[in-house]
């Protein structure tokens, strides 16, 4: 993360470990998360703002994919806002892969159920291989929430519930 510099990616300055606690030093985002914003304001009703914010997240995703990173947990609580600019954050589930279209093997399922791509949930290609397409699915779910103010598959609280919906 320290090597990634982009206006739509949260800046990482370093880390420090004290005992069993790790501390990350990152950019301060004065408006909190997109989740916070949606709770305070409801759905994004200003079409211009919606278009700009969608472009911010799309640009951030394009940049990390171009640089061999798949986020794997794109959701409103992992999108920070600083001075009305959206920034991707929380790369704890991220994986490196070669080029944007290549896959890297992975046995861990990552993400949040309401934002997971179907192939991740059903154990299809993305459970055994990481590709940027799963971030695009999650991004679509974020857009849905920005427009409606509701999570997609809101009634789902775990992966197994969503698995049976599919």
Specify the CATH number for the domain of residue 157.
1.10.510.10
Q: Rounded to two decimals, what is the model's pTM?
A: 0.80
Domain-embedded: residue 122: yes
Domain-embedded: residue 141: yes
Q: What HEC string does the chain produce?
A: CCCCCCCCECCEEEEEEECCEEEEEECCCCCCEHHHHHHHHCCCCCHHHHHHHHHHHHHHHHHHHHCCEECCCCCHHHEEEECCEEEECCCCCCEECCCCCCCEECCCCCCCHHHCCHHHHCCCHHHHEECCHHHHHHHHHHHHHHHHCCCCCCCCCCHHHHHHHC
Q: Is 73 a catalytic residue?
A: yes
- Tell me: the pLDDT tens digits for 46-86? 999 999 999 999 999 999 999 999 998 999 999 999 999 99
Q: Does position 162 have pLDDT exceeding 60, yes or no?
A: no
Q: How many domains does the chain have?
A: 1
Q: Can you give the residue range of the structural domain that contains 148?
A: 30-165
- Tell me: the pLDDT tens digits for 113-137? 678 777 776 666 544 455 788 899 9
Domain-embedded: residue 7: no
Domain-embedded: residue 140: yes
Catalytic residue among 36, 73, 106, 135: 73
């Amino acid at each position: 993360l320290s090597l990634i510099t982009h206006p739509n990616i949260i800046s990482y300055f370093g880390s420090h470990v004290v005992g069993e606690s790790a501390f990350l030093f990152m950019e301060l985002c004065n408006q909190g998360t997109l989740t916070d914003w949606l709770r305070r304001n409801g759905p994004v009703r200003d079409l211009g703002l919606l278009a700009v914010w969608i472009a911010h997240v799309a640009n951030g995703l394009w940049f990390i994919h171009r640089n061999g990173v798949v986020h794997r947990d794109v959701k409103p609580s992992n999108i920070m806002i600083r001075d009305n600019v959206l920034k991707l954050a929380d790369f704890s589930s991220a994986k490196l892969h070669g080029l944007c279209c290549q896959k890297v093997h992975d046995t861990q399922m990552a993400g949040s159920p309401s934002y997971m791509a179907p192939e991740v949930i059903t154990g299809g290609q993305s459970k055994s291989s990481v590709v940027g397409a799963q971030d695009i699915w999650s991004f679509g779910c974020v857009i849905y929430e920005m427009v409606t103010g509701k999570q997609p598959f809101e009634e789902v609280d775990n992966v197994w519930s969503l698995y049976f919906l599919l």
